[in-house]
Structure 1
Amino acid sequence: MSIKSFNLFKPKLLSVVIASALSCTVTSNALADDTVKDTSVDDQFTIFGNSNAVNNTPGSAHQLSQADLEKFDYTDIMRTLTSIPGVYVLEEDGYGLRANIGMRGTGQNRSEKVTIMEDGVLAAPAPYSSPAAYYFPTAGRMQQVEVLKGTSSAMYGPRTTGGVINMISRQIPDEELAGQVSVQAGQDGFAKVHAFVGGKGENISSVFEVFRYQADGFKDINHSEQDTGFVKNDILAKVRYNTDDNATFYQELEFKIKYSDEESDDTYMGLTAGDFNSAPYSRYSASQKDNMSNEHLQLQLSHVIALSSRFNLGTTVYHNDFSRNWYKTSKVNGKSLGDGGIEIAAEHDKVAAGAIDVDVKANNRAYLSQGIQTVLDADFNSHQVKFGIRYHKDEMDRYQWVDKYELDSSYNMNLTEAGIPGTDSNRIDSASALALFVHDEWTVGKFIVNAGLRYENMVIERQDWGKNDVDRQMAPETTKNSVDVVLPSLALTYHLSDDLVLLGGVQKGFAPPSPGNADAKNEESINYELGARYAKGAFNGEALVFYSDYDNMHGNCTASQNCDDDKIGEQYNAGAVKITGLEFKAGYVFDFGDISMPIDLTFTHTQTEFLNSFESDFWGDVDSGYEFPYVPTNQLQFVVGLAGEKWRSNILVRYTGEMRSEAGLGASDENIDARTVIDFVASYDIANNQQVRFSIDNLLNETYMATRMHGSVMVGKPLTVSVGYQYNF
């Protein structure tokens, strides 16, 4: 089987979907006006729909509006998400190109434990068979971001322990014609151009959007003038057809196409501790060939129909095609980066006493993710019920090779042996999954009961041709896991008053096994939460405690986790694990007449503990009672702003506590020190539809360790100043 033969979208299937979407004719009005208004494709894309729904949601639920996103106008999703409690991020490249996001102690490795969606559709290149991948939707073009953790996640999967991030792309404007053009430029060659135009017609509406950003990079390769930055392009188009408002069955049909590409000269090679202290923004010359190249295509056809005043049906067919080649140094003088290779590269940059050998691996992979999903919304007065079904298929085609270079005494990389594609890794991981769910929101007086049940049946498979059958002529070695899982959840909110809501719930968490291990186990947990939400006048606040009790926790090997090449993709079971924590968020707006001062505080406290002892290539040697790596005990963010009639400014203080880079207890030289990073932004309206902006990331130019990768140090982004201009019409 090849990736070309793996295609759910036959012409016959598309014709059936389109025919069913348009099957209802336009006749007399049979629905109330308010039903027509509430029936929209846009409503199918969102988790919450509106802020009031967030307030009634049991568990931790947060919605970042367009105004929230524009406050700092980050292009880095990880900087955006630090305003939400219970979310952990791990910087890597400094620009957010490689997102590492975790929730409630799940770990951040390639965001593999979090369900990532764009417009309600799974966004990871292969969310079942290979979730730890190098694609994340371009955050800077998003209009809204929704984050849901805890007991309301029965409707979303396949990973239900951590939570859900749903990114809402540009919606079609309500006006006949509207748009925006914004430009930004800053240090280290940073530049951004973002523009969209669209409008709503009587029956046909559309929007077209372009987003491009780039930088030369803030690191310097030793003995080289080569840039270390990136260029990323993202193009989006949507076209929507809607019936007349007086149709018997009001309908909307929307087609979305999104294309992006990226070229980034990024690396996995960090620095030795000594070089980090003396030259933190340097890079070793052995990494000069490192480059990521990728392309992503998304096709999405969405249909919604108001069947009656009580029933709406929304259906989406989706197709995601992602290909990438991360061409990066894997060995120096035969040593892997985590086993002495980085030290050899560091020494050669100081004293070039002859040539060294450098292996550069072409981590070449192609991904496919596609499916069809439908949700029926039913209004039974006190019961608001959702019935959902999704059929999904995905795969990763891994076809890699290694090129050998000589790094000479003049620090030039000379190719000595070109690798043959397929001779390093040659396999396909694939999955097919059927998911069904029912979710009932039952209102009884001041109580709202949320009960959910999710069922998934999945088959996850690996076909491995080894390193000697590059043409895939022989039968591959095959491993397969078949999984059936039932995931219940139950949550309760109680409106103690109009301002105060108490909430709590329990949920079964799950993550599917890896295709690479025939004896791999599911990740399963029981998750509890309890808290309160209060909002009155200018104040709003939320506090929750959570407890995740794992029967078995997964760790999946990736290159970013310092796994050996032959172990990448393997799953390791940690067994019983306990995670507890506190999430707190509060905001208040002071009104001084012509000037307002909004403040916002976000705090997360987390305790992690392995409950048994074991050895693994992923976590190392672990004793019972050890803490997790890369989960800070405390993290806090404080934002204070000032706003007048035409101007506004905000300063953000982000504190990340000390965290471990490997499992253990107590102080260690391998721990990552606590840090405080401050961002500042100010804007001024030069006209009703024009604005200028001034931004500083890392205002105090804090030099900090972001992570320890391959036993080396990766540095965070330094002070970066930028200015921008925005025009709306």
Structure 2
Amino acid sequence: MSIKTFKPALLSLAIASSISMNAFADDVAKEASVVEQFTIFGSDSSVNNVPGSAHQLSKDDLEKFDYTDIMRSLTSIPGVYVLEEDGYGLRANIGMRGTGQNRSEKVTIMEDGVLAAPAPYAAPSAYYFPTAGRMQQVEVLKGTSSAMYGPRTTGGVVNMLSRQIPDEALAGQIKVQAGQDGFAKVHGVIGGQGENISSVFEVFRYQADGFKDINHSNQDTGFVKNDVLGKVRFNTDDDATFDQELELKVKYSDEDSDDTYMGLTQADFESDPYSRYSASQKDNMTTEHLQLQLSHAIELSERFNLGTTVYHNDFSRNWYKTSKIGQMVVDDEGNSSIVYQSLSKGTQLASDYDHGEIDELYTQVKANNRDYLSQGIQTVLDADLNNHQLKLGIRYHQDEMDRYQWVDKYYLDANYNMTLTGEGTPGTDSNRIDSASALALFVHDEWTIGKFVINAGLRYEDMTIEREDWGKTDPDRLTEAKTKKNDLDVILPSLALTYHLTDDLVLLGGVQKGFAPPSPGNEEATNEESINYELGARFGKNAFNAEALVFLSDYDNMHGNCTASQNCDDENIGEQYNAGEVKIKGIELKAGYEFDFNDLSMPIDLTYTHTQTEFLNTFESDFWGDVEAGDEFPYVPENQFQLTVGLAGDKWRSNVLVRYTGEMRSEAGVGASASNIDSHTVVDFVASYDIATNQQVRFSVDNLLDETYMATRMHGSIMVGKPQTMSIGYQYNF
């Protein structure tokens, strides 16, 4: 096993999974034997031994529609659910196999094999998400194929592979794009290989004015986001005793978005779905993210390779947004006072004000100011023992979230002007630090016996999760904080089996223990634990491939994490609520075929997911509501379907994507409900033409049929999906 074979483990930052090791960009992955060994379907369309559900979106897959929204890309993967929010994917909500999607907190998000959530143990809600438009590949693992990852092992893993250093001495790319609602994108890359030193530099910027209009205002509702990435790699000479590589990665990003949690009432959604209330005119989010990673890989011998990564992530954000809405009330004795309501209950007041039914309004705008830290070191030993492929790994990780928030008060007059009437003091709303430290170890053995491949794994995690809370009266943190702590350890086994019935057909099955740690703020919250099963088959021959899996997640206890995005009351944000026993089962289907008409080709891809969810016990909860045994889980559609049809000639290509999302609940229950979210179908279209061997123009339309649909009621009001949006682009390669 050469270091070139092990290089993907370096570039994926030494995470031990055979599917993860296919973390090459198409430019880099020219060692065909390496790519074929680790892809789900090799170049000869045969199927491999990857246990469980594992899919990869290649560079070509991602460039087909060239989405900047990761959620639009992931809908081609069965068993993955997404929940739109802002329409541009700035705040990703991703779930897998019924886990729930809120802030992607129930799945493991990684970039280059390193945990990417701002504080994945202490505060998993991903208010930062890696910019999808600069990624070269995306790997999605569910079930037993994701069992080696943590800290959350029930749903699955999304691992995004960033820009790789090109093979050429000098190569690069420039992309520009412009479209409706002020959408614009600039993407530039340059890099190359040297004898011992190689590097790449990338700049990505995209922005929009937004597709919503604030009532009685000309203010934009869009965003600007910037990403800058640099990598430098040092490698030893060809005749060195030990083949080694050392890679430094530095990434900086920032964002300024006029985003809000304030949706619409049902009546306003039906009459003017792309409007926003005047009370949200101050809502704005600013973020900064710094990522440092140093990776080292060494070939110890032909059979042993060692990869190590040290990583550090700093993320800060302040989401300044309306949290309460009030009006002046006069009691029977003539005394006046302002009565505030939560955002969900106060939305009707905001509507009445904009429609002129009341003359004035009062708001509380909260500065949701937080700083995050995530850092650690991880290493993996990869051993080739003939019919045993053994992986041993260890990771030490630390993270924290520092909440230092305040509330400002505003008055809105009869002319819809918003005036500051009370400036809050920083640290007088939420003033606490949630932190975690964790030691994780795993061993994974892939044992080949004839046509059988047995994958056995064992993961151990020892973690301490803690909260220090200074309350609302000690902004300088001079007194001793109120402390809560959870110390726990867990052993997570997994076992999977694949069997080659023929050269083209493989059967697979597996079982694993799923886990998610408790919140630092609730000492009564227990671990989320489940036993997860899957059974299915893969087939691949010539131009046809297919996969069918059934899955069952049997929870002893499911968590619900209370966040502002789920319309939680201020005093409950950050808390965790147990749901007890839950059962989720479903079917995942995926098939693809490419028709060849001599001068034309027509690739077709089909994805379908059917999911059934059920609470198995009756309880009352501030988070879940009043739940009866047999109720269905909110925000998991029973059916979702996607069909992509392409047509390509010598110099041109076109693709149509049809995505159907079935009806889903916004709260636990069964049967029809006025609060359900209706099913909807969205069609995307893209066409491109090569004006030269290294130049291309592109025309794309998101939501081609201009479907108006409800995306979510997550915030206690209705958020609308993105309308029809056209854009044109140009690409130059050198």
User: Which bin holds the TM-score, normalised by the shorter protein?
Assistant: over 0.9
Which of 544, 547, 550 is the matching residue for 2:549?
Answer: 544
1:495-644 equivalent positions in 2, closer than 5 A: 495-644=500-649
**Deviation of 1:42 (Å):** 2.5
State how far apart, in whole Å, the 1-side matches of 2:264 and 2:346 are. 11
**Deviation of 1:132 (Å):** 0.8
**Matching residue of 1:30:** none
One-letter identity of the residue aligned with 1:560: S
What SS class does the counterpart of residue 405 from structure 2 fall into? strand
**Matching residue of 1:202:** 195
Give yes or no for the alignment of 1:329 onto 2:322.
yes
**Matching residue of 1:414:** 419
What SS class does the counterpart of residue 340 from structure 1 fall into? helix
Would you say the 8 A contact 1:197–1:207 is kept in 2? yes
What SS class does the counterpart of residue 56 from structure 1 fall into? coil
**Matching residue of 1:115:** 108
1:681-720 equivalent positions in 2, closer than 5 A: 681-720=686-725
Which of 281, 289, 292 is the matching residue for 1:288?
Answer: 281
**Matching residue of 2:52:** 59
State how far apart, in whole Å, the 2-side matches of 1:451 and 1:160 are. 15
**Matching residue of 2:364:** 359
**Matching residue of 2:128:** 135
The one-character-per-residue Cα deviations of 1:38-68 (angstroms, maximum 9, x if unpaired) are: 2323264671423542332111100000000
Give yes or no for the alignment of 1:174 onto 2:174.
no
Which of 495, 499, 512 is the matching residue for 1:490?
Answer: 495
One-letter identity of the residue aligned with 2:618: S
Which of 149, 152, 173 is the matching residue for 1:159?
Answer: 152
Which range moves more in the overlay, 38-47 or 168-177? 38-47
Which of 250, 262, 265 is the matching residue for 2:243?
Answer: 250
**Deviation of 1:338 (Å):** 4.4
- Please provide the CA RMSD for this pair: 0.9
One-letter identity of the residue aligned with 1:59: G
Would you say the 8 A contact 1:154–1:437 is kept in 2? no
Which of 221, 224, 227 is the matching residue for 1:234?
Answer: 227
What SS class does the counterpart of residue 39 from structure 1 fall into? helix
Give yes or no for the alignment of 1:457 onto 2:462.
yes
State how far apart, in whole Å, the 2-side matches of 1:624 and 1:367 are. 38
**Matching residue of 1:192:** 185
One-letter identity of the residue aligned with 2:602: M
State how far apart, in whole Å, the 2-side matches of 1:147 and 1:61 are. 6
What SS class does the counterpart of residue 225 from structure 1 fall into? coil
1:281-320 equivalent positions in 2, closer than 5 A: 281-320=274-313
Would you say the 8 A contact 2:13–2:114 is kept in 1? no
**Matching residue of 1:3:** none
State how far apart, in whole Å, the 1-side matches of 2:434 and 2:13 are. 30
State how far apart, in whole Å, the 2-side matches of 1:459 and 1:35 are. 38
Would you say the 8 A contact 1:206–1:238 is kept in 2? yes
State how far apart, in whole Å, the 2-side matches of 1:357 and 1:276 are. 23
Which of 438, 442, 445 is the matching residue for 1:440?
Answer: 445
**Matching residue of 2:403:** 398
State how far apart, in whole Å, the 1-side matches of 2:344 and 2:712 are. 17
The one-character-per-residue Cα deviations of 1:387-430 (angstroms, maximum 9, x if unpaired) are: 00000000000000000000111101100010000000000000
Would you say the 8 A contact 2:634–2:666 is kept in 1? yes
The one-character-per-residue Cα deviations of 1:446-500 (angstroms, maximum 9, x if unpaired) are: 1110000000000000000000011001000000000110000000000111100
State how far apart, in whole Å, the 2-side matches of 1:43 and 1:266 are. 33
Would you say the 8 A contact 1:181–1:727 is kept in 2? yes
State how far apart, in whole Å, the 2-side matches of 1:339 and 1:608 are. 26
**Matching residue of 2:210:** 217
What SS class does the counterpart of residue 479 from structure 2 fall into? coil
One-letter identity of the residue aligned with 2:505: L
**Deviation of 1:246 (Å):** 1.4
Would you say the 8 A contact 2:468–2:484 is kept in 1? yes
One-letter identity of the residue aligned with 2:115: L
What SS class does the counterpart of residue 712 from structure 1 fall into? coil
**Matching residue of 1:47:** 20
Would you say the 8 A contact 2:342–2:569 is kept in 1? no
- Structure 1 length normalisation: TM-score? 0.95
What SS class does the counterpart of residue 623 from structure 2 fall into? coil
One-letter identity of the residue aligned with 1:650: N
**Deviation of 1:153 (Å):** 2.0
One-letter identity of the residue aligned with 1:90: L
The one-character-per-residue Cα deviations of 1:423-446 (angstroms, maximum 9, x if unpaired) are: 000000000000000000001101
1:74-153 equivalent positions in 2, closer than 5 A: 74-153=67-146
**Deviation of 1:339 (Å):** 4.8
State how far apart, in whole Å, the 1-side matches of 2:152 and 2:267 are. 40
What SS class does the counterpart of residue 414 from structure 1 fall into? strand
One-letter identity of the residue aligned with 2:5: D
State how far apart, in whole Å, the 1-side matches of 2:715 and 2:232 are. 46
Structure 1's 247 and 336: CA in aligned 2 closer, same or farther, altered over 3 A? farther
**Matching residue of 1:35:** 2
State how far apart, in whole Å, the 1-side matches of 2:510 and 2:642 are. 27
State how far apart, in whole Å, the 2-side matches of 1:153 and 1:90 are. 22
Structure 1's 43 and 121: CA in aligned 2 closer, same or farther, altered over 3 A? closer
One-letter identity of the residue aligned with 1:518: E
Moved over 4 A (4+): 43-46
**Deviation of 1:106 (Å):** 0.2
One-letter identity of the residue aligned with 1:432: S
Structure 1's 667 and 199: CA in aligned 2 closer, same or farther, altered over 3 A? same
Would you say the 8 A contact 2:521–2:576 is kept in 1? yes
Would you say the 8 A contact 1:355–1:407 is kept in 2? yes
Structure 1 stretches of 5 or more lacking a match? 1-33
Give yes or no for the alignment of 1:665 onto 2:658.
no
What SS class does the counterpart of residue 628 from structure 1 fall into? coil
Would you say the 8 A contact 1:36–1:245 is kept in 2? no
What SS class does the counterpart of residue 113 from structure 1 fall into? coil
State how far apart, in whole Å, the 2-side matches of 1:682 and 1:592 are. 19
**Matching residue of 1:7:** none
**Deviation of 1:352 (Å):** 5.9
Would you say the 8 A contact 2:344–2:567 is kept in 1? no
Which of 655, 679, 698 is the matching residue for 1:674?
Answer: 679
One-letter identity of the residue aligned with 1:162: G
User: How many pairs align?
Assistant: 696
One-letter identity of the residue aligned with 1:218: F
State how far apart, in whole Å, the 1-side matches of 2:61 and 2:117 are. 25
One-letter identity of the residue aligned with 1:284: Y
Would you say the 8 A contact 2:12–2:113 is kept in 1? no
- Structure 2 length normalisation: TM-score? 0.94
One-letter identity of the residue aligned with 2:701: I
Taking only the aligned residue pairs, the percentage that are identical comes to 78
State how far apart, in whole Å, the 2-side matches of 1:44 and 1:595 are. 40
Give yes or no for the alignment of 1:277 onto 2:260.
no
**Deviation of 1:101 (Å):** 0.2
**Matching residue of 1:31:** none
Would you say the 8 A contact 2:325–2:343 is kept in 1? no
What SS class does the counterpart of residue 78 from structure 1 fall into? helix
One-letter identity of the residue aligned with 1:359: Q
Would you say the 8 A contact 1:270–1:709 is kept in 2? no
**Matching residue of 2:32:** none
